[in-house]
Amino acid sequence: MNNLESETIEPKHGRGRTLALVMGGGGGKGGAHLGVLETIESIGIPIDLMVGTSIGGVVAVLYAAGYSVREIADTFAATSIWRLMERDPLGLGMLGLKRFRTTMDDMLGDMTFEELRIPVALVAADLVSGQEVVIQSGPIVEPLMGAIALPGIFPPLNRDNMVLADAGIVNNVPVDVARRLGADKVIAVDLGGACADFQITATGSGPLGLVNLLPSVPMTVANRGLAILVAQLTRFQLAANPPDVLICPEVNHIGMLEFVRVAEGQSAGAAAAQAVADQLLEIGKWRTAGSETLMLLRPPLAAQAVGAALQAA
């Protein structure tokens, strides 16, 4: 487990032009990240570092591992959340992550962070200290399970005297982490509504909205309250550490566990990215100025790997 200050990203194209993409948490809303990536690809912007919280971390590691946007979208769309998750046998969460881990094992195997084609920093929360934890070395799949473990819903991960859980409760859109890792400019994607006035919808909103999963009134109210707190925290953090480009897909209508609505999320992400296309073009020109690295080298993994993962789900 790496200490945040122990490692920075050394750009291969020279100092002063390291561009990071920060992807926030949001569960089933995460399809929006794919639409943003699709737009970034179409513009031809090379990304030097990816920083992800929760579903943003899942998308980041799969993309950096070599899966295409379409392959990741197909995986989400074909995956029923009820097939992936079951009751946690240890009682540390309402639902377990055993089947989800099997899917990630099939897709990523024993891959380490060092083997990714784009450096990735995965952000989790330590429930013991209350602090964020940044993982950027060693095997990927195990810490990923902690990084998506919403407290009380999914079981946290015990690791290195820490109890790792979803970082949405401490830093849902970690722009500051990207800066501290050496990013000169940052593109950030917020799925939780901190870009606009926060609103509660019938299906749940905010990065921690679990209304579709937890119909009981007390739990629904508790999770809506938590969603508001996280959105307000994110609003404050983004004001204190603003990215160079902030992308805010309109995805509050998509439930936390509605991964099958990936196409809607992807469309919303693409639309939001297109809305700031001028800013993206400018940052793309800045990034590629004086550099021969004009395209992102990311050959997709074998299609058989995707098929195997879907079969195992």
To which H or E segment does residue 162 belong? strand 162-166
Asked if residues 153 and 213 have their Cβ atoms less than 8 Å apart, the reply is yes
Q: Are 147 and 155 in contact (CB under 8 A)?
A: no
Q: Which two tokens stand for residue 260?
A: 């099958």
Which DSSP symbol is given to 112? B
At residue 15 the predicted structure's pLDDT band, cuts being 50, 70 and 90, is low
pLDDT the model gives residue 98: 77
Distance separating alpha carbons of residues 151 and 20, to the nearest angstrom: 28
Q: Does the structure show a pLDDT above 90 at 72?
A: yes
Question: What is the average per-residue pLDDT within 29-45?
Answer: 96
Mean pLDDT, residues 8-23 taken together: 72
Q: What is the mean pLDDT of residues 54-74?
A: 96
pLDDT of 280 over the 80 cut = yes
Model confidence, pTM: 0.82
> Residue 185: what pLDDT?
97
Distances (CA, A) of 12 to 21, 185, 268, 269, 275: 17, 16, 33, 29, 30
Q: Does the residue 284 lie in any domain?
A: yes
Contacts with 120 (C-beta within 8 Å, 6 or more apart), sequence order? 49, 50, 51, 52, 57, 60, 61, 64, 113, 136
State the pLDDT at residue 198: 45
Comparing 26 with 189, which gets the higher pLDDT? 189
Using CA atoms, how far apart are residues 163 and 142, in angstroms rounded to an integer?
A: 13
* Residue pointed to by tokens 């046998």: 89
pLDDT of residue 223: 58
Provide the mean pLDDT of the chain. Answer: 80
Torsion, CA 115, CA 84, CA 218, CA 131, rounded to 10:
-10
Give me the domain span that covers residue 166: 18-312
Q: Exposed, middle or buried by CB within 10 Å (0-12, 13-18, 19+), for 244?
A: middle
The verdict on residue 7 lying in a domain is: no
Tell me the CATH number at 53: 3.40.1090.10
pLDDT range class, residue 194, cuts 50, 70, 90: low
Q: 169 or 56: whose pLDDT is higher?
A: 56
Q: Does the residue 11 lie in any domain?
A: no
Distances (CA, A) of 115 to 45, 73, 236, 250: 21, 22, 35, 34
Contact by Cβ (8 Å): 151, 209: no
10 in a structural domain: no
Active site residues: 54, 166
For 105-125, write each residue's pLDDT tens digit: 999 999 999 999 999 999 999
pLDDT of residue 229: 79
Q: What is residue 254's predicted lDDT score, i.e. its pLDDT?
A: 82
CA-to-CA distance for 156 and 165, rounded, in angstroms? 5
If DSSP codes are grouped into helix, strand and coil, which group holds residue 247? strand
The total number of structural domains in the chain stands at 1
Can you tell me the mean pLDDT for 11-20?
Answer: 69
Q: What tokens were used for 244? A: 């160079």
| Spatial separation of the C-alpha atoms in residues 64 and 55, rounded to whole Å | 14
The tokens describing 243, both together, are 């990215």
> With 50 as the cut, is the pLDDT of residue 209 above it?
no
Band (102; pLDDT cuts 50, 70, 90): confident
Higher pLDDT, 144 or 84: 144
* Cα(27)–Cα(152) distance, integer angstroms: 15
Q: For residue 103, is pLDDT > 90?
A: no
> What are the residues facing 112 on neighbouring strands?
139
